[in-house]
């Protein structure tokens, strides 16, 4: 592992296909980060177990997520792209850190409150201790920085609290991670309700662009995007959230500023603009989708990448785990 570079850690849950929001908000920017950081990216399948999964589909989705990572440009030769569940140190450290985390801290987590309401029939202990497993994910790799969105900021704060508490008792064991506020990706909102974030769990299929949607589907969904009764393409998030969301998306895939977009579509109707956004997004996704299909067909290559990267993740994480076990007094022979 490089001595010069700081360590960056992130990952995504292994449920369903990724959305355009996942891509523009995070994945597209991850691709360039290896130039500055030593990067670890997990397929976070243990986290996905807080919701009941259909086993065969779950395994398939996890493999597809790995292929999407690589298709999007996360080279497994220069990044460590691995499966969380293949590295037992995650679960081991999570239990140890559970014993250094307070019930009051966990009960204040807004994501627990939100998910408890959404999955009221399955409010399990894993959902409650989810932030501790996330802390273990990050602290195992001695990550210096973690890219965070607004919905994950609270989880990084509790990770920092746990690390500082442990260090205060046992000395300098964990690197206390900082939030990554580098180049921010676009915040992509729902096409059906632009006041909400685009989500792969949205029940309205027209609300979300999946990275695996074909060209016709992408364009059709953008044509149906909710806008307003005005006909002016202008960036005004409070007044025109739908059009502003489409402008954010269009700008992210074309590199054009809000001013350039407004000028390009001056005097044109929403229909022309929606079509242009749909075509631009379809063009952006086409090469990714082509690489993705080839990767899914090349089982031996993906299996080899997973094995090699899992081995690296185990090596790095076990160094931290051994140190933690020794500090807390667990016997090793």
List residues bridging with 41 in a β-sheet. 10, 81
Place of tokens 């086993």: 55
What span, in angstroms and rounded, lies between the C-alpha atoms of 198 and 190?
Answer: 4
- Spatial CA neighbour of 324 closest among 135, 152, 130: 135
Strand segments (E) across 136-272: 145-147, 178-180
Known catalytic residue: 197?
yes
Strand segments (E) across the chain: 6-13, 37-44, 80-83, 145-147, 178-180
Known catalytic residue: 323?
no
What span, in angstroms and rounded, lies between the C-alpha atoms of 10 and 78?
Answer: 15
Are 20 and 211 contacting, i.e. CB atoms less than 8 angstroms apart? yes
Catalytic site residue from 5, 6, 187, 197: 197
Catalytic site residue from 5, 6, 187, 200: 200
What span, in angstroms and rounded, lies between the C-alpha atoms of 56 and 73?
Answer: 27
Cβ-proximal residues to 265 (8 Å cutoff; 6+ apart), any chain: 233, 272, 273, 276
Catalytic site residue from 64, 115, 221, 274: 115
List residues bridging with 180 in a β-sheet. 147
What span, in angstroms and rounded, lies between the C-alpha atoms of 64 and 15?
Answer: 10
- Spatial CA neighbour of 129 closest among 157, 161, 97: 97
Are 133 and 46 contacting, i.e. CB atoms less than 8 angstroms apart? yes
Structural Rg of the chain based on CA atoms: 21
What span, in angstroms and rounded, lies between the C-alpha atoms of 128 and 276?
Answer: 44
Known catalytic residue: 200?
yes
Catalytic residue positions, numbered = 115, 197, 200
């Amino acid at each position: 592992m490089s001595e010069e570079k700081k360590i960056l850690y992130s990952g995504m849950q292994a449920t369903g296909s990724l959305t355009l929001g996942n891509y523009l908000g995070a994945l597209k920017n991850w691709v360039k980060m290896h130039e500055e950081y030593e990067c670890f990216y997990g397929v976070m399948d243990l986290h996905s177990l807080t919701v009941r999964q259909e086993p065969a589909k779950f395994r398939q989705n996890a493999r597809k997520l790995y292929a999407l990572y690589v298709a999007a440009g996360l080279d497994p030769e220069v990044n460590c792209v691995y499966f969380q569940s293949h590295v037992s140190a995650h679960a081991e450290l999570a239990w140890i850190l559970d014993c250094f985390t307070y019930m009051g801290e966990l009960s204040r987590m807004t994501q627990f409150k939100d998910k408890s309401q959404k999955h009221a029939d399955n409010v399990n202990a894993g959902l409650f201790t989810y932030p501790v497993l996330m802390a273990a994910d990050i602290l195992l790799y001695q990550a210096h920085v973690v890219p965070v969105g607004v919905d994950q900021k609270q989880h990084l704060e509790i990770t920092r609290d746990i690390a500082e508490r442990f260090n205060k008792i046992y000395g300098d064991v964990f690197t206390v991670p900082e939030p990554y506020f580098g180049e921010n990706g676009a915040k992509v909102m729902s096409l059906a309700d632009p006041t909400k974030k685009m989500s792969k769990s949205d029940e309205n299929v027209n609300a979300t662009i999946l990275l695996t949607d074909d060209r016709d589907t992408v364009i059709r969904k953008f044509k149906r995007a909710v806008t307003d009764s005005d006909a002016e393409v202008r960036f005004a998030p409070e007044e025109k959230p739908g059009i502003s969301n489409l402008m954010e998306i269009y700008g992210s895939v074309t590199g054009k500023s809000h001013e350039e977009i407004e000028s390009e579509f001056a005097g044109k109707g929403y229909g022309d603009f929606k079509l242009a956004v749909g075509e631009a997004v379809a063009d952006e996704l086409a090469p990714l989708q082509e690489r993705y299909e080839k990767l899914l067909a090349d089982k031996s290559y993906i299996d080899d990448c997973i094995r090699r990267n899992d081995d690296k993740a185990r090596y790095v994480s076990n160094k931290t785990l051994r140190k933690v076990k020794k500090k807390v007094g667990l016997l090793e022979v």
